Amino acid sequence: MSTLGKEIRYIKGVGAVKARDFSRMGVNTLYDSLFDFPFRYDDLSEKAPIAELKPGQKVTIRGRIGSIANRKSAKSRRMIVTEAIVEDGTGSIKVIWFHQGFLTKTLRTGTLVSLSGKIDDRYGLSLVNPAYEVVGDSKVTQHTGRIVPIYSLAGALTQKLRRQVVESAMKSIDEIKDWLPKEILKRHKLVDLDRALSDIHFPDSTKDQEEALERLKFDEFFLHQLLHAKARRELKRQVAPAIKYSDAKLKKAVKDLPFELTDAQRKSVWAIIQDMEKDEPMNRLLEGDVGTGKTVVAALVALNAAADGWQSALLAPTEILAEQHVNTLEKLFGDRLTIAVFTRTKRRVKGKEVTKSQMLDALHNGKIDLVIGTHAILSADVLFNRLGLIVVDEQHRFGVKQRQALKDRKGDADGIPHLLSMTATPIPRSLALVLYGDLDRSLLDEYPAGRKAIETRIVLPNKEEEFYEKMRDEMDEGRQVFVVCPLIEESDALGVQSVNEVYSLYNAKPFAAYNIGMLHGKLKSKEKDEIMAKFVSGDLDMVISTTVVEVGVDVPNATVMFIEGAERFGLAQLHQLRGRVGRGEYESFCFLHPSGELSDLAKKRLQAVVQTQNGFMLADQDLRLRGPGNIFGTSQSGFEAFKLGSYADVDLIAAARDEAKDILDEDPDLNMWPLLKQRVLEYVDEIHFE
Ligand code: ADP
Ligand code: MG
């Protein structure tokens, strides 16, 4: 077995307990440790002889311990102070550590040490609590005198131990075989993999670190693109039902709608229908800001499929959304389509409650044209008669898994069902092109006529009362209010604390007379649904929540969206939140409440939200103003797969995409590149573990 394959618990200083802490970070072997990258560095590379030290300087010195001793602190008897004198031939300096009495055992008089820290001059020149390590004459330092990597820690782990483990792995770095073809490295001036791994952990210069990063990012994008491109190619080889276009039925349905379709809706319906006429699987993304009418587009193509005898399934992310889609579509298409809702708790066909077995029968017999539901639809006992189309709403993974799950239960359909994904998350156009390449896209870039802009304002410090007044007015008129809180502390990942705080504040004073509900990540989905249902029915005047309300809930009676800590959100996210109001006939408002003084950049960002109502433009502006990375919440970004890569790397992504395409054109199964092939297989495993 290779040395890099060695389990971490056998490494000196680790052991079973700490091995478990390592394991929590996905590091089980020496090899793994090479791929668990530092999240930042401390530059301790400046070195100086003791005679030349200046106050305030962050520096590394190398010298011998002249003397060292512990004493008790004058201030607190319990505090041990370790004092040493270190000499390097040019001079000597006092070094002080607090709470580290054990040092007198490791750093005995005469030991050659390297120390990094800031030069203090409060009591004459000294170094206080410097990082230290014992150095042999030739030994390279790990913790001082260089650019030092900083890792995330868990349990009993320390930076020193983490570095030592990586250092052990480095000794066998020549076991690393580069999986990228030489030509690719050359074309993009990328460093070799072993060099990159070595320099991402222990770079000798910033330039080395940057080159390592570039190489490792390229790997991430390249693997991602290879996998996508392979999946697309395999999809192209499969067949799907060719669904006939039913001109008359569709035209009649469109004519009977209570509104005019927008041009963008017409174009999208047409593009989708043309896709489905072919016997190759459609893979189309329908993008459109909230309120642009995606659901109607989906229903129209489902209607076209039904006219030719095909069933459709619409998957919504939550029960509430499924319910909402059903309500909208029953009204619009109830007399032309047999629509069913199928979630964990709700089963209705044409508005009538049914038992589970009745539901399963109806799906299997083909009585249902369009079933709308949550993941319940994917459960193993569901069989269709002739499933032709799957529509996935607001799930950014493009329904690959969903299609797979339904593949074997589609009834006597040929091949696999067509897939339409819908999303309101704006991805800047340039970026989508490189990320998703030839994925077909339709964009609803128009709002239905008559939609009013949502008046958006920034709540200036100490002007809250004016806005609270407005909110009370709205609620007194019978309208409703959303309040959204940011996640501030890492320890409050579920938002319980932040929602509770705002609730106490509001409930105590400005909104004591109103019915307020709370929503946060700690609630069970049943409890969330109950509160949302109360809000939808009007029993609650206000709901205070984290961003769980972000996904398309429709409460036409809600007219105010009040966002706490607004500067902490991405612009696209603010825009999505704003889209929760203005869905009915009433004039609506979005108030952005910053949590404190705003930086110039933060001001510009919020002003952009005030000034533009177009989500796609905002996404582009966010990219420009704030730089990449945080445009979307991580969970939505589609970037979870990348440890290092970000939106900024558009050029690198494009390069990786082109290389992936070329290599697959030449060698679809990567037989000429066994190492790469192996790496791709591992990558698939990694993704499935997420
Ligand atoms: P979203 O794109 O956010 O999913 P929906 O499909 O839920 O939007 O549509 C929002 C509302 O607009 C629904 O009540 C729908 O019936 C209505 N709607 C859709 N298209 C039009 C249109 N062309 N004209 C007027 N109203 C429309
Ligand atoms: Mg929607």
* Averaged pLDDT in 10-residue chunks for the chain of 690 residues: 87 91 91 92 93 93 94 83 95 94 92 94 90 81 91 89 94 94 96 97 95 95 87 82 95 95 96 95 86 93 97 89 90 95 93 95 96 86 92 66 65 78 73 68 83 90 93 96 83 78 90 93 83 91 79 81 90 84 90 91 92 80 59 38 73 91 93 93 65
How far, in Å, from the CA of 488 to the mean position of ligand 2? 28
How far, in Å, from the CA of 548 to the mean position of ligand 1? 21
Alpha-helical (H) ranges within 188-315 are: 193-201, 206-237, 247-256, 263-277, 294-307
How far, in Å, from the CA of 131 to the mean position of ligand 2? 55
Nearest ligand to the CA atom of 327: 1
CATH of the domain at 32: 1.10.150
Side-chain-side CA neighbours of 184 within 13 Å: the count stands at: 22
CA–CA separation, 317 vs 204, rounded Å? Answer: 48
Ligand 1 pocket test, candidate residues 259, 287, 333, 551, most atoms within 8 A of CB: 259
Decide: helix, strand or coil at residue 441: strand
Boundary of a domain, candidates 394, 413, 444: 444
Give the residue, by CA position, lying nearest to ligand 1 atom 16. Answer: 328
CATH of the domain at 343: 3.40.50.300
Q: Does 328 sit in the ligand 1 pocket, CB within 6 Å?
A: yes
CA–CA separation, 559 vs 127, rounded Å? Answer: 60
Residue 37 and residue 52 share a domain:
no
Residue 401 lies in a domain: yes
Residue 298 lies in a domain: yes
How far, in Å, from the CA of 328 to the mean position of ligand 1? 9
In this prediction, residue 687 carries a pLDDT of: 59
Q: Are 45 and 183 in contact (CB under 8 A)?
A: no
Residue 304 and residue 162 share a domain:
no
Give the residue, by CA position, lying nearest to ligand 1 atom 14. Answer: 328
How far, in Å, from the CA of 292 to the mean position of ligand 1? 6
Residue 607 and residue 461 share a domain:
yes
Which residue has 């297989």 as its token pair?
681
* Token pair recorded at residue 532: 């949302």
Residue 575 and residue 516 share a domain:
yes
Residue 515 and residue 412 share a domain:
no
- Beta-strand pair 311-315/339-342: unpaired
CA–CA separation, 272 vs 178, rounded Å? Answer: 43
Q: Are 451 and 291 in contact (CB under 8 A)?
A: yes
Residue 567 lies in a domain: yes
CA–CA separation, 660 vs 610, rounded Å? Answer: 41
DSSP state letter for 210: H
Q: Does 545 sit in the ligand 1 pocket, CB within 6 Å?
A: no
Residue 536 and residue 406 share a domain:
no
Residue 487 and residue 565 share a domain:
yes
In this prediction, residue 527 carries a pLDDT of: 87
Residue 352 lies in a domain: yes
Q: Are 592 and 574 in contact (CB under 8 A)?
A: yes
Residues whose CB falls within 8 Å of the CB of residue 585, separated by 6 or more in sequence, listed in order: 556
* Token pair recorded at residue 132: 């230290």
Locate the ligand 1 atom nearest the alpha carbon of residue 288 and give its number.
2
In 3-state terms the chain splits into helix, strand, coil percentages (rounded to 5) of 40, 20, 40
Q: Does 425 sit in the ligand 1 pocket, CB within 6 Å?
A: no
Rounded to the nearest 10 degrees, the angle between the axes of helix 206-237 and helix 650-666 is 50
Q: Are 179 and 675 in contact (CB under 8 A)?
A: yes
Give the residue, by CA position, lying nearest to ligand 1 atom 18. Answer: 293
CA–CA separation, 457 vs 470, rounded Å? Answer: 12
Q: Does 448 sit in the ligand 1 pocket, CB within 6 Å?
A: yes
Residue 508 and residue 603 share a domain:
yes
Residue 680 lies in a domain: no
Residue 504 and residue 431 share a domain:
no
How far, in Å, from the CA of 619 to the mean position of ligand 1? 22
Give the residue, by CA position, lying nearest to ligand 1 atom 22. Answer: 448
| Number of domains the chain is built from | 4
* Token pair recorded at residue 662: 């070329």
* Cα–Cα separations (whole angstroms), residue 278 to 266, 274, 285: 19, 7, 17
* C-alpha 378, offset from chain centre: 24
Boundary of a domain, candidates 585, 612, 639: 612
Rounded to the nearest 10 degrees, the angle between the axes of helix 429-436 and helix 615-626 is 90
In this prediction, residue 123 carries a pLDDT of: 79
Residue 627 lies in a domain: no
In this prediction, residue 638 carries a pLDDT of: 39
Residue 420 and residue 292 share a domain:
yes
Q: Is the pTM of this model over 0.75?
A: no
Ligand 2 (ion): residues with CB under 5 Å are 552
Residues whose CB falls within 8 Å of the CB of residue 274, separated by 6 or more in sequence, listed in order: 245
Residue 334 lies in a domain: yes
Strands (E) in 530-665, as ranges, are 542-545, 558-564, 589-593
CATH of the domain at 107: 2.40.50.140
In this prediction, residue 523 carries a pLDDT of: 85
Residue 87 and residue 21 share a domain:
no
Which of 661, 643, 637, 682 has its CA nearest to residue 225? 661
Residue 26 lies in a domain: yes
Residue ranges making up the domain that contains 331: 282-444
Locate the ligand 1 atom nearest the alpha carbon of residue 292 and give its number.
2
Boundary of a domain, candidates 612, 641, 658: 612
CA–CA separation, 214 vs 257, rounded Å? Answer: 53
How far, in Å, from the CA of 627 to the mean position of ligand 1? 32
Q: Does 316 sit in the ligand 1 pocket, CB within 6 Å?
A: no
In this prediction, residue 634 carries a pLDDT of: 33
Residue 404 and residue 428 share a domain:
yes
